[in-house]
Amino acid sequence: MGEELRFDGQVAIITGGGRGMGRTHALSMARRGARIVVFDRGVDLDGSGSSTQPADDVVAEIEALGSEAVAFHGSVTDEADAAAAVELALDSFGRLDILINNAGISDPALFEDQTVQQFRTMLDVQYMGTVLVTKAVWPHLMQHGGRIVNTCSEGPLGIHEKMTSYGGAKGGVIGFTTTLAAEGPKYAISVNGFSPRVSTRLSAPEVLAKVYDKPAAAFEKSVARYTTDLASPACVYLAHDSCALNGVILVCGGGEVFRLAYMANDAFHRDALSIEDIAANVDTIIDMRSAHNVGVGIAGVADLGR
């Protein structure tokens, strides 16, 4: 185990910081010296309602640790609120170094049962919420560099049903993360993704029971294994100034961490490619044993201008 990674003097905005995964990020970083803006509207699981209590409670917890924090009760779906959260960070602490886009909702249902409005709401929170807060933060990080960590998911991989709205929106977050990472290094900004394997209210036994049509008791063991404490370290590492990664997505949970990446295999080639060529060689075409990473990949510290 190496030297403790500290965030002394640094300021982070954490959306969805009032509960679950975001709360754990906030407390972990505060213990390591960061000052935190806890950005949380306190909505219900499906995005409805609001409450000031979740953000206020986390601020109180951070202050009890001897660290500093402020609560912001706005919505990530509101462009003015996103800008106001940034201004609160600057007014309260005089700087801004880190953004963790963690706010999210869950509304599982079969595709044929979901309304168009449910898809729009999911996109507004998961995707546009990430875009809007990043857009508000970006000009300030351009001045002195910084780190952005977007909460992604394995949902876009189609690992289970009833998640088309969620998986589609999170697929957008993955694309946003990897493409923005291509622009970040010229401003000394790293943009990475964090995909938690964790049991929170978004993936509690009763939610998983609805997704898989099984009793909630079937998922209770996972609650003990997939705690927020065992997922958060990957996100906090990606937010640290010593991290040289850019355009990388780390999946973490249950004490395990690994990389999730876009992969491509070696191309099958014919000068006059036909439908019949593809049909005759489809097994070779889809064989991923020669797969290699595509995309931004890993940038060195020098490439990020640090």
Asked whether the beta carbons of 1 and 23 are under 8 A apart, the reply is: no
Query: Is 289 inside a domain boundary?
Result: no
Q: Can you give the pLDDT at residue 59?
A: 98
The span from the CA of 41 to the CA of 49, in Å, is 9
Query: Is 24 inside a domain boundary?
Result: yes
Whether residue 231 has pLDDT greater than 70: yes
Query: Is 2 inside a domain boundary?
Result: no
Query: Is 270 inside a domain boundary?
Result: no
Q: Can you give the pLDDT at residue 302?
A: 40
Average the pLDDT over each of 92-96, 114-118, 175-179, 199-203 and give the range with the smallest value: 199-203
Position 235, amino acid: C
- Name, in order, each residue with C-beta under 8 angstroms of 53's C-beta and a sequence gap of 6 or more: 18, 42
CATH code at 209? Answer: 3.40.50.720
Averaged pLDDT for residues 152-168: 90
Averaged pLDDT for residues 105-125: 95
Whether residue 162 has pLDDT greater than 80: yes
Confidence band of 273 (pLDDT split at 50, 70, 90) = very high
3-state helix, strand, coil in the chain (%, to 5): 45, 15, 40
Bridge partners, 149 (sequence order): 100, 192
- Name, in order, each residue with C-beta under 8 angstroms of 13's C-beta and a sequence gap of 6 or more: 36, 37, 39, 85, 86, 89, 96, 98, 99, 100, 133, 137
pLDDT tens for each residue of 146-158: 999 999 999 899 8
CA 65-68-69 angle, to 5 degrees, is 110
C-alpha distances (whole Å) from 186 to each of 12, 120, 141, 189, 237 are 21, 33, 11, 7, 21
Mean pLDDT of the chain: 92
CA 183-185-186 angle, to 5 degrees, is 80
Position 9, amino acid: G
Whether residue 293 has pLDDT greater than 60: yes
Q: Quick one: tokens of 72?
A: 């912001």
Q: Indicate the pTM of the whole model.
A: 0.91
Query: Is 274 inside a domain boundary?
Result: no
Q: Can you give the pLDDT at residue 202?
A: 62
Q: Quick one: tokens of 128?
A: 């546009």
DSSP label of 241 = T
Task: For 206, list phi and psi in degrees, rounded to 5.
Answer: -70, -30
Q: Can you give the pLDDT at residue 203?
A: 66
The span from the CA of 120 to the CA of 117, in Å, is 5
| Of 143, 39, 59, 63, residue with least CA distance to 96 | 143
Query: Is 6 inside a domain boundary?
Result: no
Whether residue 1 has pLDDT greater than 70: no
The span from the CA of 296 to the CA of 122, in Å, is 27
Query: Is 116 inside a domain boundary?
Result: yes
CB atoms within 10 A of CB 245: 22
DSSP label of 145 = -
- Residue 141 structural domain: 11-263+296-304
Active-site residue (options: 166, 187, 212, 226): 166
Domains contained in the chain, number? 1
C-alpha distances (whole Å) from 42 to each of 19, 114, 162, 227, 277 are 8, 24, 24, 21, 55
Whether residue 83 has pLDDT greater than 60: yes
| Residue 237 annotated in active site | no
Query: Is 272 inside a domain boundary?
Result: no
